[in-house]
Structure 1
Amino acid sequence: MNRRLIFLQKKWNDARIKIKFRLTFGLISFFIILLAFIANRGISNITNDTKTIQESGQLQSNIEHYHSAHLQWVANVNRLLTDENVTDLNVETNPQLCEFGKWYYGEGRKKAEELVPALSTILDKFEEPHHILHQSAIQISEVFQQADHNLSEQLNKVKVAHLIWMNSLEGSILEGKPNYQI
């Protein structure tokens, strides 16, 4: 091995300056191209990671939007039960046609599962409760009857009048005097 090094060193020393420049320039060019390739690959990885982060952020934003949409949906069902001015249930009862359902049963979910494969098992757990939620709205709509909001006040007046009458009756019985009115 020592002989080979000596031989190469002698060859290098005997080589013309022109050859030395070409060889050195070639090596430097090779390393610059290699470095550029490595840098380009690193930048490409950073760009891909940035796209993944953006898509993840968009997915999170979409899920928050659909959660908010269903909270509004529930509030609309609640309005039917609590607001005397609301007499009809105006919510989407088909679980595949609400905002979340369109995403859940459409391309949105497929893209989300491609981005985060672990979401598949989590999202599978949403189907039954989501279906039940919409079915409950159908059942509420079928049996709903608008309540008379004045009924409570009227019942309280009758109750008070009845208590006054009972008190008068009790006093009459205790005193032995019939001064009550029926």
Structure 2
Amino acid sequence: MTLKSDEIEETLDILRRARSAHIRWRSYAHGLVNGVPVSEDKLPVHHTECAFGRWYYGEGQQRLGDLAIFQDLEGPHEMLHGIYARIHEAVQNGKKGKARRLFEELQAVSRDLVDQLDLLEQQIRRGQL
């Protein structure tokens, strides 16, 4: 697929918003681990229901779904939601040490996901769609 320069910029803008949504979501998990009250709508949800997931399975899939690097985002993203659910459960059960260890795991997977998003952005910039 070949995109015009304005389509590339629009796609990059949408990708950046998806990345920001993921980083905000990660901060909710961090708050939860640190005892900060997290509103019900920020608690773990299914990986298709968060802002990043809605982008990934919606517009992202339509625009970038044929790219292997895009497809590679799905596994880590789904894994993050599983870890967040385990963090939530640990916090609810008063197991803060376990929650902190799980958050470290979540951060590592999140860094990998953000690195993949950076590679995807580079690929889009080079017009390799």
Residue type of the alignment partner of 1:86: P
Residue type of the alignment partner of 2:14: N
Looking at both structures, which has the greater relative contact order when contacts are Cα pairs under 8 Å and sequence separation is at least 6?
A: 2
Counterpart contact for 1:69–1:99, Cα < 8 Å: yes
For residue 37 of structure 2, give the secondary structure of its aligned residue in structure 1: coil
Counterpart in 2 of 1:95?
Answer: 47
For residue 123 of structure 1, give the secondary structure of its aligned residue in structure 2: helix
Change (3 A) 1:95 1:147: closer
Measure, in 2, the Cα distance between the counterparts of 1:129 and 1:144: 22
Counterpart in 1 of 2:6?
Answer: 54
Following superposition, the deviation at residue 88 of structure 1 comes to 6.4
List alignment gaps of at least 5 residues for structure 1.
Answer: 1-48, 149-182
* Greater C-alpha radius of gyration: 1
Q: Normalized against structure 2, the TM-score is what?
A: 0.61
List alignment gaps of at least 5 residues for structure 2.
Answer: 97-129
Counterpart contact for 2:31–2:38, Cα < 8 Å: no
Measure, in 2, the Cα distance between the counterparts of 1:127 and 1:135: 13
CA deviations 1:62-121 (Å, max 9, x no partner) are: 1111111111101111011114x42666334211111121121124421235xxx5xx10
CA deviations 1:28-82 (Å, max 9, x no partner) are: xxxxxxxxxxxxxxxxxxxxx9x71111101111111111111110111101111
Q: What is the RMSD computed on CA atoms of the aligned residues?
A: 2.7
Change (3 A) 1:139 1:101: same
Q: Normalized against structure 1, the TM-score is what?
A: 0.44
CA deviations 1:5-28 (Å, max 9, x no partner) are: xxxxxxxxxxxxxxxxxxxxxxxx
